[in-house]
Structure 1
């Protein structure tokens, strides 16, 4: 039997500022990770709110 089934990715990475789903990751259980997206509108909104530098990780 062929293995054409895709693995189910239970982890999700969400932008902590705008809530956009950035990516999914293969994890052993359901997990949510928060990070900063690089969408132009989100970066500009962060700059307007006075965040120091949205490009520093």
Structure 2
């Protein structure tokens, strides 16, 4: 019986704006990292959101 020597990647990198999984990371525990994705729809939405005036 063969043994697969593949590591389990417990970390995930997610877009902090749209929640898309960008990548996984080899960690020693479950961990979530947040970054900005470069998907066109997300970038356009962020730019449009920056242009809107801030309302209190």
| Bigger share in helix | 2
What SS does structure 1 have at the residue aligned with 2:5?
Answer: coil
The correspondence of residues 25-40 of structure 1 with structure 2, limited to 5 A, is: 25-40=25-40
Unpaired stretches in structure 1, ≥5 consecutive residues: 52-57
Q: TM-score, normalised by structure 1?
A: 0.80
Q: Which runs of 4+ in 1 moved over 2 A?
A: 1-5
Q: TM-score, normalised by structure 2?
A: 0.82
Aligned residues: 51
- Aligned Cα root-mean-square deviation (Å): 1.7
Unpaired stretches in structure 2, ≥5 consecutive residues: 52-56
